[in-house]
C-alpha cells in the first residue's frame, strides 16, 4: 500500500529543510554554535536524509559517483608522494633563487603554480608552495599579499586546464563522460589567457608595488621534506605515463590512476601510512555526504520542476549566459564543488560544451571571493600562521578584477 499524500508532503518538506540547512552550512563554512565544518554538515545531512526518507544503505551507496571518488583518492596519493619527495618546495626554491625582477618573478611563480595545479590539484599546490613563496617575499623585501593571492588565483585558474586539476572537474568529466584531450584543447586558451590577465594585473595594476632585490641565496624551509631525486623521478614518471594514457586512450581513468598510486605505494623508503596520511579524507567524506543529500533532494522532483518553470519563462539553464551566472553565483555562495553538484544533474543531456563551460566558470569563479575556493582559504590560513593577514578585502582587490576579466575570456571562447 502506498503512503498517503500527506506523508509524501511531510517527507518532502523535511528533505527540503535538511537540504537547505546543509547548503547553509556550505555557505557559512559550518553551522552557528556548533563545531561543525562543511564536511561535518554534509555527513550529518546525509544521515538525516537516510533517516527521513527510509533510504537504504545500498541506495545511499548507489548515489555516490564512485569513479570520481576513486580518481580523487588516487591523485591525492600521487600528490602526497610528490610532496614527501620535496618536489613542490624544490621547484619553488629553484624559481626563487633566479635573478629575476618582480614582474619576471611573478610570471615564473604563476606559470609554475598554474602548470602544477593542472596535474596535481590546486589545493595541494597551494599547501606546498605558500610557505616557500611567503619566505621568498620576506627575504626579497617584497609585499607578500599580492604574491600569495596571486598564487591562489594561479592555482585555481591552472587547475581548470585538465579534468584532473580539481575535484569539480573530476566530477564533471566523470558524470558527462568528457574526453580528456578534447577538454584540454578547449580549456587551454581561456586558462592561458586567465594566467596572463592575472600576471598583468599583479605586475602592472594597482597591486604592483614594492622594489626589486638581488637574487637571494637558496632558502631553507624547515617544515618541508628534503628533495629526494628518486622519489620525485618515480612520481613524475607515473604522472607522465598517466597523462599519455589519458590523452591517447579510452581506458578508465580511475583504474589507471589507482594503478599509478599503487605503484608509488610500493616503496622501501616512504611508509604507506605516511603517504595515505596526507590524503584529504575530509574532502572525500564531504563529497559522499553531498552525493546522498543531493540524491534525496532530486528524488522529490522539486529541482526538476524549478528548472522546467524557469525554462517556460525563457531562462534555460544550459544556455551560456544563464549557466555562467548560475555558476558564478552558486560557486561564491556554497563553494564550487557543491555548486557543480547542484547544476550537473540538469546538464547531462546537453553535450560537452555545457560541461566545459561549467568546469571553467565554477573554477574561475572561485577567485572572486576569499570563500569561493578551498585553495584561497588554504593560502590565507597558512599566511595567518606566519603573521600575514589576507582578509576578504585584500583578496577582492585582486580576485574580483581577475575573475571578471578571465570569465570574459570564457564567454568569448564559449561563443
184 or 342: which carries more pLDDT confidence? 184
pLDDT at 3: 57
Angle between helices 66-84 and 229-248 (to 10 degrees): 150
Nearest to 373 by CA among 329, 342, 336, 341: 336
Query: Quick check: helix, strand or coil at residue 280?
Result: coil
C-alpha span between 364 and 180 (Å, rounded):
19
315 or 283: which carries more pLDDT confidence? 283
341 or 107: which carries more pLDDT confidence? 107
- Can you read off the three cell numbers belonging to residue 38? 562543511
pLDDT band, residue 345 (cuts 50/70/90):
confident
CA dihedral 78, 83, 87, 88 (to 10 degrees): 110
pLDDT at 207: 62
pLDDT at 315: 75
pLDDT at 161: 95
| pLDDT at residue 211 greater than cutoff 50 | no
Is the pTM value of this prediction over 0.95?
no
C-alpha span between 146 and 201 (Å, rounded):
10
C-alpha span between 211 and 309 (Å, rounded):
56
Distances, alpha carbon 145 to alpha carbons 50, 208, 325, in Å:
45, 11, 29
What is the average pLDDT across 202-222?
Answer: 57
What is the average pLDDT across 288-298?
Answer: 91
| pLDDT at residue 240 greater than cutoff 90 | yes
Reported as a single tens digit per residue, the pLDDT across 82-123 is 888 888 888 888 888 888 888 999 999 999 999 999 998 888
What is the average pLDDT across 226-238?
Answer: 91
The residues, ordered by sequence, that sit 6+ positions from 237 with a Cβ below 8 Å of its Cβ are none
Reported as a single tens digit per residue, the pLDDT across 9-27 is 788 899 999 999 998 988 8
320 or 360: which carries more pLDDT confidence? 360
| pLDDT at residue 258 greater than cutoff 90 | yes
Of 155-169, 179-193, 270-284, 320-334, the poorest mean pLDDT is in 320-334
Amino acid at each position: 500500500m502506498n503512503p498517503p499524500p500527506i506523508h509524501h508532503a511531510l517527507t518532502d518538506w523535511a528533505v527540503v529543510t535538511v537540504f537547505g540547512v546543509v547548503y547553509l552550512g556550505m555557505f557559512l563554512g559550518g553551522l552557528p554554535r556548533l563545531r561543525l565544518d562543511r564536511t561535518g554538515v554534509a555527513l550529518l545531512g546525509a544521515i538525516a536524509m537516510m533517516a527521513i526518507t527510509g533510504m537504504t544503505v545500498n541506495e545511499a551507496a548507489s548515489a555516490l559517483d564512485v569513479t570520481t571518488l576513486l580518481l580523487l583518492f588516487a591523485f591525492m596519493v600521487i600528490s602526497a608522494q610528490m610532496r614527501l619527495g620535496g618536489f613542490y618546495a624544490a621547484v619553488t626554491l629553484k624559481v626563487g633563487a633566479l635573478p629575476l625582477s618582480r614582474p619576471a618573478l611573478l610570471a615564473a611563480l604563476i606559470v609554475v603554480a598554474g602548470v602544477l595545479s593542472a596535474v596535481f590539484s590546486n589545493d595541494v599546490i597551494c599547501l606546498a608552495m605558500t610557505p616557500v613563496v611567503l619566505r621568498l617575499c620576506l627575504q626579497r623585501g617584497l609585499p607578500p599579499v599580492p604574491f600569495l593571492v596571486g598564487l591562489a588565483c594561479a592555482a585555481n585558474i591552472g587547475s581548470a586546464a585538465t579534468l584532473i586539476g580539481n575535484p569539480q572537474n573530476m566530477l564533471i568529466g566523470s558524470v558527462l563522460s568528457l574526453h580528456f584531450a578534447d577538454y584540454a584543447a578547449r580549456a587551454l586558451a581561456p586558462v592561458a589567457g586567465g594566467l596572463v590577465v592575472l600576471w598583468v594585473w599583479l605586475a602592472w595594476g594597482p597591486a604592483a608595488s614594492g622594489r626589486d632585490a638581488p637574487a637571494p641565496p637558496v632558502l631553507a624551509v624547515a617544515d618541508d621534506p628534503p628533495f629526494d631525486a628518486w622519489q620525485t623521478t618515480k612520481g613524475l614518471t607515473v604522472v607522465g605515463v598517466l597523462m599519455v594514457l589519458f590523452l591517447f586512450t579510452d581506458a578508465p581513468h580511475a583504474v589507471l590512476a589507482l594503478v599509478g598510486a599503487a605503484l608509488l605505494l610500493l616503496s622501501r623508503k616512504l611508509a604507506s601510512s605516511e603517504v595515505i596520511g596526507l590524503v584529504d579524507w575530509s574532502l572525500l567524506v564531504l563529497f559522499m555526504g553531498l552525493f546522498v543529500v543531493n540524491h534525496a533532494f532530486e528524488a522529490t522532483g522539486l529541482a526538476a520542476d524549478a528548472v522546467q518553470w524557469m525554462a517556460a519563462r525563457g531562462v534555460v539553464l544550459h544556455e551560456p549566459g544563464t549557466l555562467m551566472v548560475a555558476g558564478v553565483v552558486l560557486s561564491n555562495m556554497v563553494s564550487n564543488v557543491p555548486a557543480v553538484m547542484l547544476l550537473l544533474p540538469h546538464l547531462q543531456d546537453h553535450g560537452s560544451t555545457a560541461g566545459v563551460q561549467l568546469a571553467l566558470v565554477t573554477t574561475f569563479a572561485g577567485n572572486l571571493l576569499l570563500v569561493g575556493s578551498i585553495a584561497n582559504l588554504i593560502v590565507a590560513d597558512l599566511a595567518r600562521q606566519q603573521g600575514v593577514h589576507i582578509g576578504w578585502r585584500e583578496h577582492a582587490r585582486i580576485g574580483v578584477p581577475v575573475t571578471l576579466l578571465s570569465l570574459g575570456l570564457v564567454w568569448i571562447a564559449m561563443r
